[in-house]
């Protein structure tokens, strides 16, 4: 059953207006291998850190707030847990919630791996993709939903 699939998370924000359009529930995945200087979430790097929760537990939190417009997957690196997050995203779409995914990969890198079905499944369930690693020398607060000017926003649905 989908609701028993486990995801390793660093934590959640139950209501955010800075991690995508509208009021969003944010899932911070645990695990990242990029180690960007001045990363906003360095506590998410350890692949064995955080805690494991089921999709069902996450959905219960999401379902408790009727004001949500969508769900955002941040990190860590969501594509390290792409299969489980694609399943969660599908459940979110069934609830008429949009899905935003932040990734340190560039969109072209994700597309260049068509044999990675898990990545493709998550891309197929993503409404908005924000790509690219955080770059300290390109830090900005002037571009919505992004921390550095090299990061791009793609509407995929």
**Chain center to CA of 106:** 14
Average pLDDT, integer, range 123-150: 91
Amino acid 136: pLDDT: 84
> Residue 99 forms beta bridges with which residues?
71
* pLDDT value for 127: 98
Hey, what are 48's tokens? 């064995």
pTM, full prediction: 0.94
The pLDDT of residue 103:
96
Please write the tens of the pLDDT for every residue from 30-81.
Answer: 999 888 777 778 888 888 999 999 999 999 999 999 999 999 999 999 999 9
pLDDT at res. 21: 97
Question: Quick one: pLDDT at residue 3?
Answer: 79
Residues in the chain: 157
Question: What is the pLDDT at residue 37?
Answer: 74
In the chain, count H helices and then E strands.
Answer: 4, 7
Q: Share the mean pLDDT of the chain.
A: 93
Domains in the chain, ordered, with CATH?
Answer: 2-12+24-29+39-155 (3.20.20.70)
Q: Contact, 29 vs 74, CB < 8 A? A: yes
Beta strands in the chain, from DSSP E residues, in sequence order: 6-16, 24-29, 51-54, 70-74, 98-102, 128-131, 152-155
pLDDT attached to residue 44: 83
């Amino acid at each position: 059953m989908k609701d028993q699939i486990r995801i390793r998370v660093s934590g959640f924000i139950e209501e955010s207006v800075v991690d995508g359009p509208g009021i969003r529930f944010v899932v911070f995945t645990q695990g990242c291998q990029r180690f960007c200087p001045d990363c906003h979430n360095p506590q998410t790097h350890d692949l064995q850190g955080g805690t494991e929760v089921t999709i069902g537990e996450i959905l219960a939190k999401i379902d408790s707030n009727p004001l949500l417009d969508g769900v955002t997957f941040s990190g860590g690196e969501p594509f390290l847990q792409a299969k489980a997050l694609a399943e969660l995203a599908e459940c979110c779409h069934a609830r008429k919630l949009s899905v935003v995914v932040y990734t340190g990969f560039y969109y072209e890198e994700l597309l260049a791996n068509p044999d990675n079905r898990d990545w493709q499944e998550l891309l197929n369930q993503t409404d908005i993709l924000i790509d690219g690693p955080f770059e300290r020398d390109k830090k900005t607060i002037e571009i919505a939903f992004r921390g550095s000017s090299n990061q791009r926003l793609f509407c995929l649905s």
